[in-house]
Structure 1
Amino acid sequence: MITTNPFDDDKLREECGVFGIWDADGAAAVVALGLHALQHRGQEAAGITSFDGHDFHSHRAMGHVAGTFDKDGVIRSLAGRVACGHVRYSTTGETALRNVQPLFAELSSGGFAVAHNGNISNALTLRRELVRRGSIFQSTSDTEVIIHLVATSTYRTLLDRFVDALKQVEGAYSLICMTPEGMIACRDPLGIRPLVMGRLGDSVIFASETVALDVVGAEHMRDVEPGEIVIVDASGMRSVRPFSRVNPRPCIFEHVYFSRPDSIVGGNSIYSVRKAIGAELAVEAPVDADLVIPVPDSGVPAAIGYAQQSGVPFELGIIRSHYVGRTFIQPGDQIRHLGVKLKHNANRALIQGKRVILIDDSIVRGTTSLKIVQMMRDAGATEVHMRIASPPTRHSCFYGVDTPERSKLLAAVHDIQGMAEFIHADSLAFVSINGLYKAVGEARRADVRPQYCDACFTGDYPTRLTDQDALDCTDQLALTAERVM
């Protein structure tokens, strides 16, 4: 089978989305609706775990939320007034049902379910030590490390054991956990991955994005703050902050691409920020042309901002079909090429004889941009200029985003001119890192640590990368041994 969405195959993929609700009739059904709204954050697998006051119930499956939880009887089997769910795109661990979340285990304190958005950057190191001490892992997911750390902690209360576990992990995490006593939600001290709180009547909701609250009719209360642990149980809601306070560094790529445009992140409208990025890009990289054309769908807000700022007309020069998923034809070069046009097709009557500016959110390997530029030329464009609503992606992400190794990132091996030649564009430009910060209402200062995690652009990682550093060291030793031999 071949994918017919060539534009999405060369994107940075967000890792996961989480949603949990406390004390609601039909809790699992509400979670399923919330996960529908978060489907863009993970399209590989989905799962829901509920608690009925006595027992935990789980259903996990590969595929989309609709195909999994719209089936007769599935939601009815997830009884209880408490539930949490997860949509997944794997960044650590194999693609297998055993890695689909929420993960669940029976601890000495009772059942414990966890849904995790992010990536533990020292998970392999912790896992080796846990296995040495006798832990038996059932998955290859980094999330299971958290369960084992909680299970083996010597502290008395579950909350203290949970805090003890979190103090041993590095990297990014937004967690929703369920126990027989209540629901726990938390973010890592830097707040790299998002998590928000909402209310639906007397029910409390946690979700990766505000759009999931909108879909279920909930009111957005506030963000779960970096380093905060929120506990909801029969006695009410309380918050603890067990970590030393540090300056937060949330992922700036949430504003560029990951979050849905109708979400609010860090108090900012994602749609408005993306328009502002496009406007900044028009100021920084103007070009004489006839049309501004977005690469659907993620390039649309930035393209609107670029067009409004530049005065060049905005047009839908690429038409996307929303009804094609995968072809039923066995792949071959000719069929693969034709499959591209099943999903996206150039608006030839509009483009013929025009100088066009294509607006996209990012360039990763460059293979997608090459196809898009060629599509415009085949449709009769006389010039094709590409403008990108983020700085060049030169570094891999280790915080829960599926990124190619650095050698496969086009911007890591080519300068801007080399990238333009690779994708066959007449010109190519990216918004500057300072322009990106300006669009989100900040000023990036060289004399202090950045307000966001922008490591994929700058290489300035906000945490230790224990596992990656060990891997790099092993690779370097192997390379040295080869040279000696």
Structure 2
Amino acid sequence: MHQSTEGFTTHPYDDDHLHEECGVFGVFGAAQASAMAALGLHALQHRGQEAAGITSFDGREFHTHRAMGHVAGNFDRPEVIDALPGQIALGHNRYSTTGETALRNVQPLYAELASGGFAVAHNGNLSNASRLRRDLIRRGSIFQSTSDTETIIHLVATSNYRTLLDKFIDALKQVEGAYSLIALTREGMLAVRDPLGVRPLVLGKLNEAWILASETVALDVVGAQFVRSLDPGELIVITDKGLVSHRPFEPQRPRPCIFEQVYFSRPDSFDHGVSVYQTRKRIGAELATEAPVEADMVVPVPDSGTPAAIGYAQASGIPFELGIIRSHYVGRTFIQPGDQIRHLGVKLKHNANRAMIQGQRLVLIDDSVVRGTTSVKIVQMLREAGAREVHLRVASPPTRHSCFYGVDTPERSKLLAAQMTIAEMQDYIGVDSLAFISIDGLYRATGEPGRSANAPQYCDACFTGDYPTRLTDQEDADLPDQLSLLAERVA
């Protein structure tokens, strides 16, 4: 289980979901930029709840405040914001997929380079960071964190190119994987999206100020107007002279993460001009067409399953009901001494609405099944509350492969769909029937005709195993096992 600090652990219900690594938010040219960054991070809190940080620049000095925990409680105090002066600010929410849970890994990361101060905040994961790190250490680099983001700083610092922009581009051309990142320098702000566009990054305008964010909802919260999404492989430079766009990478066929549509993004965000909420409703409607069942009501696992459940109910004609009530005041629970108390702690977050579901046949809608432990507990809770039948419908295909692009995914041996057939999963979870949306159905819900084997429109590797980049660090990790197997065969 993913461990946090101070004796807390991720809530049991949350631990069985995939977790986005982080959210980024940048402000250039606004009064009280750090306060605006804090508001933006509030809107992106769902993307990373482990830690948060803001770096500002006042024209002379950089100022940074980083802390474990949520944005609220860390950046809602006037003295914290007052200590972050300037009209330029960079913020970050973190949920770690690489690096330990420690303050030294909280972003933005800051370093003094030959050209001056350099702060960076990164959403994604570099799939060759370990190899690059080993090479950099051999050449004399001294790392202060275990985050893959620091690799970028060292690559910039050791580049032989002359200008900071060229050093930055040189560094990015050496990394593999997924990244949407924002860097803050004395001259201005840099923002870039990886050539495949796996992770989102949008640009907005508030009066004369430029705003950058992981999702459009963060623009809404600060009152900024959406301008556009950064294109895959696009790098923009914002200075007092304005905004300049660069295309330093060879064009590639974009592969944005499809799970942004399923779960990661807030439903009130737009992803490439498409309402995430409407897409999730269409996913539910596709599920109703692909996997119909006779039932009395459609019940979501709140909150992530709710839009798909509404779509399923509307398409099937089965009434939508809140058969499970979620408490929004429970994020983490103390580690309890016994199994009985720990089980009761699970019900702090979700509880069956007994008056609605007793004696009823339920279609239970969830966004995904990862380890399956949450599904088992929810189904057991519903049956104990008197549900006559429980039919589970899942708004994503079976998750059979790990993600290496900035999503906290268990190793494949712990993914339920990688170890069991659908029938075996049905028995394990304890439902009367189980069905997942097909990969083509998921694509149709996003507005595509279906998945083309020759030209997939999204990164869907967690479902298909079709990774769009080389996985250098994973290959290095697997090499000893491959050599051992080869030795056994030779022997």
- Could you tell me the TM-score, scaled by structure 2's length? 0.97
Deviates more, 1:320-329 or 1:158-167: 320-329
Q: Which residue of 2 aligns with 1:463?
A: 469
Q: Which residue of 2 aligns with 1:414?
A: 420
Paired residue total:
485
Q: What letter matches 2:122 in structure 1?
A: H
Give the distance between the partners of 1:102 and 1:329, measured in 2 at CA: 30
Describe the shift of the 1:4–1:347 C-alpha distance in structure 2 as closer, same or farther (beyond 3 A): farther
| 1:86-105 to 2 correspondences below 5 Å | 86-105=92-111
Per the TM alignment, residue 190 of structure 1 is displaced from its structure 2 partner at its CA by 0.3
Q: What letter matches 1:9 in structure 2?
A: D
Describe the shift of the 1:28–1:56 C-alpha distance in structure 2 as closer, same or farther (beyond 3 A): same
Q: Which residue of 2 aligns with 1:378?
A: 384
Describe the shift of the 1:93–1:479 C-alpha distance in structure 2 as closer, same or farther (beyond 3 A): farther
Q: What letter matches 2:257 in structure 1?
A: C
Give the distance between the partners of 1:66 and 1:484, measured in 2 at CA: 59
Q: Which residue of 1 aligns with 2:403?
A: 397
Give the distance between the partners of 1:114 and 1:233, measured in 2 at CA: 16
Q: What letter matches 1:477 in structure 2?
A: L
Aligned-residue sequence identity (percent) comes to 74
Q: Which residue of 1 aligns with 2:119?
A: 113
| Secondary structure of residue in 1 paired with 2:81 | coil
| 1:435-474 to 2 correspondences below 5 Å | 435-474=441-480
| 1:82-481 to 2 correspondences below 5 Å | 82-327=88-333, 330-478=336-484
Per the TM alignment, residue 267 of structure 1 is displaced from its structure 2 partner at its CA by 1.2
- The answer (yes or no) to whether the contact 1:2–1:336 under 8 Å persists in 2 is no
Q: Which residue of 1 aligns with 2:51?
A: 45
Give the distance between the partners of 1:148 and 1:168, measured in 2 at CA: 12
- The answer (yes or no) to whether the contact 1:22–1:81 under 8 Å persists in 2 is yes
| Secondary structure of residue in 1 paired with 2:298 | strand
Per the TM alignment, residue 443 of structure 1 is displaced from its structure 2 partner at its CA by 2.3
- The answer (yes or no) to whether the contact 2:369–2:399 under 8 Å persists in 1 is yes
Give the distance between the partners of 1:326 and 1:166, measured in 2 at CA: 36
Give the distance between the partners of 1:227 and 1:182, measured in 2 at CA: 20
Per the TM alignment, residue 483 of structure 1 is displaced from its structure 2 partner at its CA by 8.2
| Secondary structure of residue in 1 paired with 2:13 | coil
| 1:50-89 to 2 correspondences below 5 Å | 50-89=56-95
Per the TM alignment, residue 446 of structure 1 is displaced from its structure 2 partner at its CA by 3.5
Give the distance between the partners of 1:164 and 1:457, measured in 2 at CA: 33
Q: What letter matches 1:139 in structure 2?
A: S
| Secondary structure of residue in 1 paired with 2:232 | coil
Per the TM alignment, residue 7 of structure 1 is displaced from its structure 2 partner at its CA by 2.3
Per the TM alignment, residue 477 of structure 1 is displaced from its structure 2 partner at its CA by 2.5
Describe the shift of the 1:70–1:483 C-alpha distance in structure 2 as closer, same or farther (beyond 3 A): farther
Describe the shift of the 1:476–1:346 C-alpha distance in structure 2 as closer, same or farther (beyond 3 A): same
Report the RMSD for the aligned CA atoms in angstroms.
1.4
Per the TM alignment, residue 475 of structure 1 is displaced from its structure 2 partner at its CA by 2.6
Q: What letter matches 1:181 in structure 2?
A: E
| Secondary structure of residue in 1 paired with 2:15 | coil
Give the distance between the partners of 1:89 and 1:260, measured in 2 at CA: 16
| Secondary structure of residue in 2 paired with 1:48 | strand
Deviates more, 1:471-480 or 1:435-444: 471-480
Give the distance between the partners of 2:487 and 2:83, measured in 1 at CA: 57
Give the distance between the partners of 1:479 and 1:404, measured in 2 at CA: 24
Give the distance between the partners of 2:68 and 2:148, measured in 1 at CA: 18
Q: What letter matches 2:153 in structure 1?
A: I
Give the distance between the partners of 2:356 and 2:289, measured in 1 at CA: 25
Q: Deviations over 1:359-392 (max 9, x none)?
A: 0000000000000110110011111100000000
- The answer (yes or no) to whether the contact 1:4–1:342 under 8 Å persists in 2 is no
| Secondary structure of residue in 2 paired with 1:8 | helix
Give the distance between the partners of 2:369 and 2:345, measured in 1 at CA: 22
- The answer (yes or no) to whether the contact 1:43–1:89 under 8 Å persists in 2 is yes
| Secondary structure of residue in 1 paired with 2:393 | strand
Per the TM alignment, residue 449 of structure 1 is displaced from its structure 2 partner at its CA by 2.2
Q: What letter matches 1:10 in structure 2?
A: D
Give the distance between the partners of 2:198 and 2:207, measured in 1 at CA: 29
- Could you tell me the TM-score, scaled by structure 1's length? 0.98
Per the TM alignment, residue 68 of structure 1 is displaced from its structure 2 partner at its CA by 1.1
Per the TM alignment, residue 327 of structure 1 is displaced from its structure 2 partner at its CA by 4.4
Per the TM alignment, residue 447 of structure 1 is displaced from its structure 2 partner at its CA by 4.5
Q: Please, which runs of 5 or more residues in structure 1 have no aligned partner?
A: none
Per the TM alignment, residue 10 of structure 1 is displaced from its structure 2 partner at its CA by 0.3
Q: What letter matches 1:96 in structure 2?
A: A
Give the distance between the partners of 2:140 and 2:376, measured in 1 at CA: 51
Per the TM alignment, residue 342 of structure 1 is displaced from its structure 2 partner at its CA by 1.7
Give the distance between the partners of 2:475 and 2:456, measured in 1 at CA: 22
- The answer (yes or no) to whether the contact 2:439–2:451 under 8 Å persists in 1 is no
